[in-house]
Amino acid sequence: MTAEDDFKAWYAERRDHFARAQEDLAESVARFVSDWADQFVFRAPERHDRGATKDADRAYAKCVAKGVTDFDRLLEEPAPVGDLCRTRLIFRSRSDVEAFRSAVDQVWPHGPVQIDDFTYKPSDSGYRAVHVNGWLPAQIRGVALSVPYEVQVKTVAQDAWGYYTHDSSYVPTEVNQHPRWGQVRALQQLLSDQLHVVDQLQQQIEIVGEEIGHEVGAGGDPDEVMFSNVRVAIDELYATTCSLGEAQRIVRRAREHGITSMAQFEERISPERPAAAEIRETFDATRSRPPTAIELVAELLARGD
């Protein structure tokens, strides 16, 4: 038997475990989105590709590429092939992706994860996304295994890049491994950069549109809760720079709780409130770390006491 035959026999013995983990992953990610979207202020994904287990041929190809000859290593940490099961979420904007990642950081139900963010540091090919990698238990006929999974989180623009490049470049071929293919890869990297600009512009369009809409509705009151005011207040109270996406989520949350003036906002998020000490104690007890400034602000906004 060849090494490939050995691998396929190894894979076949565990195929049911991989399928069970795949099913559980897709279902749990869908529930996670439904449970936490409102609290972390992200919209439902434009699309949830439930995905499938990595087939034996592709899994073996990765083993060869990574020099893995002991196939049991695939089910040991750190996993050399981290996406034996995988699912993909496509969000409308960077703000939604950032909010989803914040939810994963705080309330992900499947234990510790590794988050790789390729948004500002794409791969050599130009690929951009956020990857959430971890392990899921799967038990079949009394046999338990831990299976490595990957959740890909992308914007619509990032997904479009994959649509345009996947068929020609994803699977290695004689053509795309030829030195002359470097010209194509350079163009694909340029496409990635241009679509990244689209993401940044789309986020700005949303923020400015919401800001203008609220200003018009509020009659132009400079004391209204708005993105620029919120960023200044957080900087002054916490010495923390608030990103555009974070400011967008905080403004939305403040308005949801009926906080419309900056005086109300600054009083509610004050780090001197008794509730702030309680939140810090809760984080320390449940997460073994203090809350970030943005996490503390979000929690304080939700507490009216």
Kindly report, residue by residue over 153-198, the tens digit of the pLDDT.
Answer: 999 999 999 999 987 877 778 888 888 988 999 999 999 999 999 9
Residue 41 has pLDDT above 90, yes or no: no
CA 253 to mean position of chain CA atoms: 20
**Around Cβ 195, how many Cβ atoms within 10 Å?**
20
* Residues 21-46: b if buried by 16+ CB within 10 A, e if exposed: bbebbbebbeebbeebbeebbbeebe
pLDDT (0 to 100) of residue 229: 86
pLDDT (0 to 100) of residue 69: 93
The Cα–Cα gap between 42 and 29 comes to 14
3 DSSP assignment: H
CATH 3.40.50.970 fits 3-195, yes or no: no
pLDDT (0 to 100) of residue 177: 86
Are 226 and 118 within 8 A, CB to CB? no
User: Which is more confidently placed, 38 or 144?
Assistant: 144
Mean pLDDT confidence for 131-145: 95
Residue 46, helix vs strand vs coil: coil
pLDDT tens digits, residue range 250-292? 998 898 889 989 999 999 999 999 999 999 999 989 888 899 9
Mean pLDDT confidence for 198-215: 85
pLDDT (0 to 100) of residue 219: 63
Residue 51 has pLDDT above 90, yes or no: yes
Alpha helix stretches (DSSP H) within 108-226: 156-169, 182-218
What is the average pLDDT score of the chain?
91
The end-to-end CA distance of the chain, in Å, is 70
Alpha helix stretches (DSSP H) within 219-243: 227-238
pLDDT (0 to 100) of residue 220: 58
pLDDT tens digits, residue range 210-241? 878 767 766 656 788 888 889 889 999 999 98
pLDDT (0 to 100) of residue 303: 87
As a whole number of Å, the CA-based R_g of the chain is 23
Per-residue confidence at 31, pLDDT binned at 50, 70, 90? very high
* Domain coordinates in residue numbering, the chain: 3-195, 221-302
User: Which is more confidently placed, 215 or 135?
Assistant: 135
Alpha helix stretches (DSSP H) within 41-133: 56-66, 94-107
- Joined together, the tokens standing for residue 116 give 């790789």
The Cα–Cα gap between 71 and 302 comes to 48
**Strand-by-strand arrangement of the 143-155 sheet:** 47-49, 85-91, 143-155, 130-140, 114-117
Per-residue confidence at 117, pLDDT binned at 50, 70, 90? very high
Residue (of 68, 64, 74) closest to 11 by Cα position: 74
Say what the alpha-carbon torsion angle 79, 196, 39, 223 is, to the nearest 10 degrees. 150
Residue 300 has pLDDT above 80, yes or no: yes
pLDDT (0 to 100) of residue 218: 60
- Joined together, the tokens standing for residue 179 give 């030195």
